[in-house]
Chains A and B, each alone.
Chain A
């Protein structure tokens, strides 16, 4: 029997729970480290970024308003579904990043475990970072961290590739508190980002909570940095861009900013809290 002719996958954007092509109609070639053609990815435009922000904003109140338990279950569900598709992700990473089978599998496993780690935080970070405040007066006074809003992320752009793990290491912590995300994926290795979006779409993550753009961070990031409806900017993967200019643009609407750092950010509570706002509620207290 002759070899079956395979069906190549079309990699598109993920915006508002749908998988559209770039409104610009543009694509770019994704190649192996040796230059062989892998796929055409959508080359997102500023208008795609705009649409992604609209979708993220629309999804915010639902995701932020979900119970912490529910958000934890959804994030854990991502790990479960990802676990079932380890092979696909490992294949994509091997092809796109030139990783060995072992390295690729290790990256997928690390990404899955990272989802599990962050999933467990959804109903705990509030307790750890919040406080009951003993004010000098007849008041009940409580501080709790709440999601900042729409977070725009430039995912790590590792030359040697960490496309799945880098994405998860930036997107997952932002989701914990209830933020919604617009993420610009690793430009050179965007395949696992889009495949992850497909996982999210089948993991009870509401549409619009995570919006994935593939293409040029240098082109898209300035639009996100200056967008008035973006509340926070994670520049973890923007070290090679004019990131100071991005921070200056973000200052116009006083966005919360995470500055670039080399490599894949390590997991931390601080990353969750970077996209939270402490809300303090006072209420009078009396028996009379």
Chain B
């Protein structure tokens, strides 16, 4: 399969933006020179975006868009090939009662479950921008990231070799909080390199910042820039294993970073909020926030994803409400 997205070689962005003599110091100066974030103002802006009232045709469009942008996820120790097959079936045909329901963008699993997912997808496996469903694998000692670099790279290569289209890596939050930006940067660069496929292409790299552990918005902004400079195709909020996971203000902030990166370079980076988005109402707030911050063109699978599991059914219930005109119930959507 081919991905429309062409990845840059590792660290090339940093060299381009920060100059050829890329050092820990130049990286630090850049990150520390970023404009600060006032938390109250950021949260107010997010709350304001959350009051948009999305009705009728806009709501129908938003609900379908949410499905098309969903990385339907299962990341449990108890995951089995059977569970993954069931997830894939749900992703391909979310609402058996309504064949007009779009497919999800991807299924997101642990690396060892990638073959099961690819197998279950069969001919439907491919680029979500083309209406197919891709396979994302979490890697790099997900969710804690507490392992040596060789282990993280082996984890990544294994998932890529298994056919994963996307790698969702975690950054080393400990290193980041210790101010060791160079280590975080080099690990992302190395993982990006490990995403290289035999054919020379790259698996799509999503860099999970685990914003709930970075705590401050200034840190989120720095980590976002760091990940982009190191070669991230996507910046992703959370593993889903830490509270708080995705929040609207954090996602807004990350969207502001990719908007600014686009202003600076003309290149579009993706954003993936993950974890904690369970209702259509919440998800629509994210769609609004994307459209009003980065722009509508970001509402495509290669630029925005929801990392979610239970969200899908709530969206389906809302879809059913729109098509039938009455409220539906949980027995009318499938569990996976």
Which single residue of chain B is at the shortest CB-CB distance from A283? B40
Find the residue from A139, A284, A287 having the highest chain B CB count within 10 A: A284
| Chain A residues with CB under 8 A of B43 | 286
| Chain B residues with CB under 8 A of A286 | 38-40, 43
How far, in angstroms, from A139 to B39 measured CA to CA in the complex? 11
Do B41 and A284 touch (CB < 8 A)? yes
Do A288 and B41 touch (CB < 8 A)? no
Q: Mark A252-288, 1 if CB is under 8 A from B, else 0.
A: 0000000000000000000000000000000011111
Rounded to whole Å, the gap between the CB of B47 and the closest CB of chain A is 11
In the assembled complex, A132 has its CB within 8 A of some CB on chain B: no
In the assembled complex, A159 has its CB within 8 A of some CB on chain B: no
How far, in angstroms, from A138 to B43 measured CA to CA in the complex? 11
* A 35-60 contacts with B by CB, 8 A: none
In the assembled complex, B215 has its CB within 8 A of some CB on chain A: yes
How far, in angstroms, from A193 to B42 measured CA to CA in the complex? 58
Find the residue from A138, A284, A285, A288 having the highest chain B CB count within 10 A: A288
Which single residue of chain A is at the shortest CB-CB distance from B220? A288
Rounded to whole Å, the gap between the CB of B261 and the closest CB of chain A is 22
How far, in angstroms, from A286 to B217 measured CA to CA in the complex? 11
Interface SS majority for chain A: loop
Rounded to whole Å, the gap between the CB of A286 and the closest CB of chain B is 4
Q: Mark A96-121, 1 if CB is under 8 A from B, else 0.
A: 00000000000000000000000000
| Chain A residues with CB under 8 A of B40 | 138-139, 284-286
Rounded to whole Å, the gap between the CB of A56 and the closest CB of chain B is 39
Partner of B216, one of A138, A139, A284, A288: A288
Rounded to whole Å, the gap between the CB of B45 and the closest CB of chain A is 12
Which single residue of chain A is at the shortest CB-CB distance from B216? A288
| Chain A residues with CB under 8 A of B41 | 284
| Chain B residues with CB under 8 A of A284 | 38-41
How far, in angstroms, from A287 to B215 measured CA to CA in the complex? 9
Which single residue of chain B is at the shortest CB-CB distance from A139? B40
Q: Mark A125-140, 1 if CB is under 8 A from B, else 0.
A: 0000000000000110
| Chain A residues with CB under 8 A of B215 | 288
How far, in angstroms, from A288 to B221 measured CA to CA in the complex? 12
Rounded to whole Å, the gap between the CB of A147 and the closest CB of chain B is 31
Find the residue from B40, B41, B215, B217 having the highest chain A CB count within 10 A: B40
| Chain A residues with CB under 8 A of B39 | 284, 286-288
| Chain B residues with CB under 8 A of A138 | 40
Q: Mark B42-61, 1 if CB is under 8 A from A, else 0.
A: 01000000000000000000
How far, in angstroms, from A121 to B38 measured CA to CA in the complex? 38
Rounded to whole Å, the gap between the CB of A174 and the closest CB of chain B is 39
| Chain B residues with CB under 8 A of A287 | 39, 216
How far, in angstroms, from A17 to B43 measured CA to CA in the complex? 53
| Chain A residues with CB under 8 A of B216 | 287-288
How far, in angstroms, from A288 to B216 measured CA to CA in the complex? 4
| Chain A residues with CB under 8 A of B38 | 284, 286
| Chain B residues with CB under 8 A of A139 | 40
Rounded to whole Å, the gap between the CB of B269 and the closest CB of chain A is 23
| Chain B residues with CB under 8 A of A288 | 39, 215-217
Rounded to whole Å, the gap between the CB of B335 and the closest CB of chain A is 36
How far, in angstroms, from A285 to B40 measured CA to CA in the complex? 7
Which single residue of chain A is at the shortest CB-CB distance from B40? A284
User: Which 6 A/B pairs are nearest by Cβ-Cβ distance?
Assistant: A286-B39, A284-B40, A288-B39, A138-B40, A286-B40, A288-B216
15 further A-B pairs in the complex, CB-CB below 8 A; given A139-B40, A284-B39: A138-B40, A284-B38, A284-B40, A284-B41, A285-B40, A286-B38, A286-B39, A286-B40, A286-B43, A287-B39, A287-B216, A288-B39, A288-B215, A288-B216, A288-B217
CB pairs A–B below 8 angstroms (17 shown): A138-B40, A139-B40, A284-B38, A284-B39, A284-B40, A284-B41, A285-B40, A286-B38, A286-B39, A286-B40, A286-B43, A287-B39, A287-B216, A288-B39, A288-B215, A288-B216, A288-B217
